Amino acid sequence: MKIPSRIFSFPRFLKILQSLHLPTRPAGGNVKQVRSKTSDPAAHARHTDAVELFGKFYPCDDHTNVTPKILSKVGKSLQNQRNHPLWLLKERIKDHFYTSYLSRHRNPLFSVYDNLSPVVTTEQNFDSLLIPPDHASRRKGDNFYLNQSHMLRAHTSAHQRDLIRAGLNAFLVFGDVYRRDEIDKSHYPVFHQLEGVRLFTKYELFANVQHGEELHLFEKGYRTSCKQESHTLEAVKLLEFDLKQTLNKVVTHLFGKGLDTRWVECYFPFTHPSFEMEIKFQGEWLEVLGCGIMEQQLVNSAGAQDRVGYAFGLGLERLAMILYGIPDIRLFWSEDERFYRQFQVTHIDQKVTFQPFSKYPPLVNDISFWIPHEGYEENDFYDLVRNIGGDLVEKVALIDRFSHPKTGKMSHCYRITYRHTERTLTQEEVNATHRDIERSSVEKLGVEGRF
Ligand code: DAH
pLDDT at 48: 66
pLDDT at 102: 95
The CB of 313 under 6 Å from ligand 1? The reply is yes
Element (H, E) at 268: strand 261-268
Instruction: Choose which residue among 270, 272, 275 to substitute to test ligand 1 binding: the one with the highest number of ligand atoms within 8 A of its C-beta.
Output: 270
43 Cα–ligand 1 center, Å: 44
CA gap 279, 322 in Å, rounded = 9
Domain ranges of the chain: 7-71, 78-114+155-330, 363-449
Cα torsion 386, 387, 388, 392 to 10°: value is 40
- Mean pLDDT per block of 10 residues along the chain (451 residues) reads 40 32 33 38 48 95 94 96 96 98 93 98 98 96 97 98 98 98 88 98 96 95 95 97 98 94 96 97 93 98 98 97 94 89 92 85 95 92 93 91 94 95 90 97 96 89
Count Cβ atoms below 10 Å from residue 123 Cβ, excluding itself.
13
The CB of 157 under 6 Å from ligand 1? The reply is yes
157 Cα–ligand 1 center, Å: 6
Atom 7, ligand 1: residue with shortest CA distance: 313
pLDDT at 245: 98
**Residues 328-342: tens digit of each pLDDT:** 999 999 988 889 889
pLDDT at 16: 31
pLDDT at 40: 33
CA gap 424, 107 in Å, rounded = 52
pLDDT at 358: 64
CB 144 within 8 A of CB 189: yes
Backbone angles phi, psi at 268, to 5 degrees: -120, 140
pLDDT at 337: 81
CA distances from 130 to 147, 181, 268 (A): 21, 23, 10
* Domain range 363-449, CATH class: alpha beta
- The distance from CA 134 to its chain's CA centroid, rounded to whole angstroms, is 21
pLDDT at 412: 97
Check if CATH label 3.30.930.10 holds for domain 78-114+155-330: yes
274 Cα–ligand 1 center, Å: 9
Domains 78-114+155-330 and 363-449 share a fold: no
Q: What is the number of the ligand 1 atom nearest to the C-alpha of 157?
A: 1
The CB of 243 under 6 Å from ligand 1? The reply is no
**Residues 124-171: tens digit of each pLDDT:** 999 999 999 999 999 999 999 999 999 999 999 999 999 999 999 999
Atom 10, ligand 1: residue with shortest CA distance: 291
The CB of 290 under 6 Å from ligand 1? The reply is yes
CA gap 121, 133 in Å, rounded = 14
* Nearby residues of 328 by Cβ (< 8 Å), 6 or more positions away: 185, 394, 421
Cα torsion 443, 19, 330, 432 to 10°: value is -50
